[in-house]
Structure 1
Amino acid sequence: MDITMPLLFCNISWMQFYAGRDPKDPPKGGGDFPRKQGYCGEELNFVPCDDGYVYGHFETIKGQLDRSVAIEKLGASRNDGYVDDVDIVWTAPVEGNDPRCVVGWYKHARLYRKRQFFNGIFPSEQHQRDEMDNFRCRTRIENAFLLDVKDRDPSLMLQRGPGWSGQASWWYADDTLDPDAKRFVRSIRMLIDGGKKTPAHTPTKLRIKRRAGAAAQEGYRYYVKEHEAVVSPRHHDLQKKFEAYLYERHPSVTFPATFCDDLRYDDGKGDVVMVEVKPTEASTVRYAIRTAMGQLLDYEQHQQWTGRLLIVVETPVTGADDRSLALSNGFGLAWPDEDQGFKVIWPS
């Protein structure tokens, strides 16, 4: 049994399915916003998305301040933007009223310090329909579990008071010193690791008949429209930053003339590289890699290029599938790194 995984409890509104905006499944409890507006960010917490993930939300806004999550309490450094392999336990007030009850969990989740945005590239049709454009965490679909309402029993209900979850929407449960709270947290860990689990529910109305990959293609077209139509200031800044990194790392570096590619460099030690530079967000990295691969292959053929091919993006490529897309096809990847200037990886 894994008892070392960092654990975070997040309180959200009570819903049956968390499968999107539905008058038959309105959010109950969770503060003034869902009560007045009739919807909430967490309404999509268990919607399986086209990229293989579910995206979770819990409210961090208080007044005019959107608070950061202290992910350093969960194993990250103070400079990290996210932490991986966190178990997130979702709790909600029963039918909108205390006590709070465990309603589901994410295993092996990525938790972000700050709110993340999809920037118009919605991961599912339901996200686009509900115009839900931000999230705080994500995990693979197979690691998301939602308890049926009949399974949300008294043994899963939290107490109130010192040592338990307070007014904030998130609780670093491993920090508690209360004996009853410690026992409760241990019991939830046991449930997550080996108890009864109900996979993330997909209501019939969300099974939209469409050609496979349609949403991904829409996202790809949006990425090209937003980032490829013009050279943005972000593109220029990222390229200049990478050039400065090359000058520092290779004092004898030279930059041969380009054709349509963004950059070519000769490190002075026999390594000649053609580069495509792509501004990205976390949600657009894969689209950027796909775009750059196609362009570089085109330039390689046209120019009869024999050197290496490198894709420089703005955000870390952390997903194994995204890295493999480039590396297994012979492309290198690079992105800004606080310690090294840039992280550069090549196919083995």
Structure 2
Amino acid sequence: MQKILFANIGWMKRYRGHSNSDKIKGGGSYNPDDKHEAFNFQDVNGHCYGYVQPTKWSEIKIERIDSSCLKSDDYLDDVLVVWTATNPIEGGTFIVGWYKHARVYRTFQHDTKSKERNGYDYNIEAFSSDCTLLIEKERTMLVPRAKTSMNKGFMGQSNIWYADSDTKEIMCFRQTVIDYIENYVKPLTHKTKPNIDVDAKIAVEKAAVSAATTFYMKQGYNVISVEDENKGWDLEATKGKAFLRIEVKGLAGSQISVHISKNEYSKMKSSDNADYRLCVVTNALKYPEIWTFSYDSGIWVCEEDSDIELSFEEQVAAIAYVE
């Protein structure tokens, strides 16, 4: 039978550390900035290290996950760990993600090497390729709580639920969760690159710059073009003491996938990039839609929808020639 553990934590969008755009909600009375589960889906050298707080700082009873496990064993492998959290707006406990083939430790492990996780403790780990975090709109599977006699045996006040009751209701719910995870298909990423001719590309770029200029002017900025100066951005916008450097990318379609030049990329990665904006204009020729991305704690996050963040695929170019 599938070894499974339910672990309840605070609610976040990304679980990649504390940031202004992703503050943890719920998960106990401790200071939000001290909650270790904030790093549960941070990729650290191909691994994710998960934290869940057992009741009264006790241990995870791994023998309840697998009855063949001895009380002297320090950990248990190949466990499906299902992470849950309470929706801070709608209420209710929902599945937010999972680790497949995880190692569950009986007691906390002290992380003394990982700078990415602030050296926080953990008690569950898995390969990052086996870890799935659902975006907020996908978090729809409700986990019953044992607040009424009808839900007896389900998750209670403890953050750890072993789901080891042999009642029909619990066994059925276990299997429903397992089937859901096994049949889950991750949404496609926006990597399709449009194939358009040069004239059409120029038209898209002009339309995008025009749309971006209008967008910032409506916000009260004075906007000038520096497209011909090869600065690594196209527009400069000022409003009082505020100053923005804006790189504009236009797309004919709705899928967000743009080419970043070496010069532009270096400006985006520089230490003084707080005033840099990547402004992507989709459907530029028909119904322009603006998507602006700014840097926040190591991530380029969309200002219009903080659930959207950029991924980068670095490429190497070369010149081939015959001497």
Band the TM-score falls in, shorter-chain normalisation: 0.5 to 0.7
SS of match in other structure, 1:156: coil
Cα distance between partner residues in 1 of 2:185 and 2:162? 24
Question: What is the TM-score of this pair, normalised by structure 2?
Answer: 0.54
SS of match in other structure, 1:27: coil
Equivalent residues in 2 for 1:1-348 (5 A)?
4-33=1-30, 36-50=31-45, 52-60=46-54, 62=56, 66-75=57-66, 76-95=69-88, 98-118=91-111, 120-122=112-114, 125-127=115-117, 131-153=118-140, 155-161=141-147, 162-175=152-165, 177=167, 179-197=168-186, 203-204=299-300
What residue ranges of structure 1 are gaps of 5+ in the alignment?
210-348
CA separation of 1:207/1:151 partners in 2, compared to 1, >3 Å: closer, same or farther?
closer
List per-residue Cα deviations over 1:18-77 (Å, max 9, x = no partner).
Answer: 1110121111111111xx444411100001112x21000001252xxx201111122221
CA separation of 1:16/1:176 partners in 2, compared to 1, >3 Å: closer, same or farther?
farther
Cα distance between partner residues in 2 of 1:100 and 1:88? 16
SS of match in other structure, 1:86: strand
Give me the identity figure in percent: 30
Cα distance between partner residues in 2 of 1:19 and 1:137? 16
Corresponding position of 2:273: none
List per-residue Cα deviations over 1:82-119 (Å, max 9, x = no partner).
Answer: 0000000000001267411000000000000000001x
Residue type at the aligned position of 1:12: I
Corresponding position of 1:272: none
Kept in 2: contact 1:56–1:138 (CA 8 A): yes
Give the number of equivalent residue pairs: 190
SS of match in other structure, 1:173: coil
CA separation of 1:46/1:6 partners in 2, compared to 1, >3 Å: closer, same or farther?
same
Q: CA deviation at 1:187?
A: 1.1
Corresponding position of 1:328: none
Larger radius of gyration: 2
List per-residue Cα deviations over 1:271-301 (Å, max 9, x = no partner).
Answer: xxxxxxxxxxxxxxxxxxxxxxxxxxxxxxx
CA separation of 1:176/1:96 partners in 2, compared to 1, >3 Å: closer, same or farther?
farther
SS of match in other structure, 1:105: strand
CA separation of 1:97/1:10 partners in 2, compared to 1, >3 Å: closer, same or farther?
farther
Cα distance between partner residues in 1 of 2:42 and 2:94? 20
Cα distance between partner residues in 2 of 1:147 and 1:168? 23
Q: CA deviation at 1:126?
A: 2.5
Kept in 1: contact 2:113–2:119 (CA 8 A): no
Residue type at the aligned position of 1:57: Y
SS of match in other structure, 1:49: coil
SS of match in other structure, 2:98: strand
SS of match in other structure, 1:73: helix
Cα distance between partner residues in 2 of 1:70 and 1:186? 21
Cα distance between partner residues in 2 of 1:197 and 1:185? 21
Kept in 2: contact 1:26–1:39 (CA 8 A): no
CA-based RMSD? 2.6
Residue type at the aligned position of 2:25: K
Kept in 2: contact 1:163–1:176 (CA 8 A): no
Q: CA deviation at 1:12?
A: 0.3
Q: CA deviation at 1:5?
A: 2.0
CA separation of 1:140/1:30 partners in 2, compared to 1, >3 Å: closer, same or farther?
same
Which structure dedicates a bigger proportion of its chain to helix? 1
List per-residue Cα deviations over 1:200-224 (Å, max 9, x = no partner).
Answer: xx94479999xxxxxxxxxxxxxxx
Cα distance between partner residues in 1 of 2:61 and 2:37? 20
CA separation of 1:61/1:117 partners in 2, compared to 1, >3 Å: closer, same or farther?
farther
What residue ranges of structure 2 are gaps of 5+ in the alignment?
189-297, 302-308, 313-323
Residue type at the aligned position of 2:153: G
CA separation of 1:41/1:80 partners in 2, compared to 1, >3 Å: closer, same or farther?
same
Kept in 2: contact 1:146–1:198 (CA 8 A): no
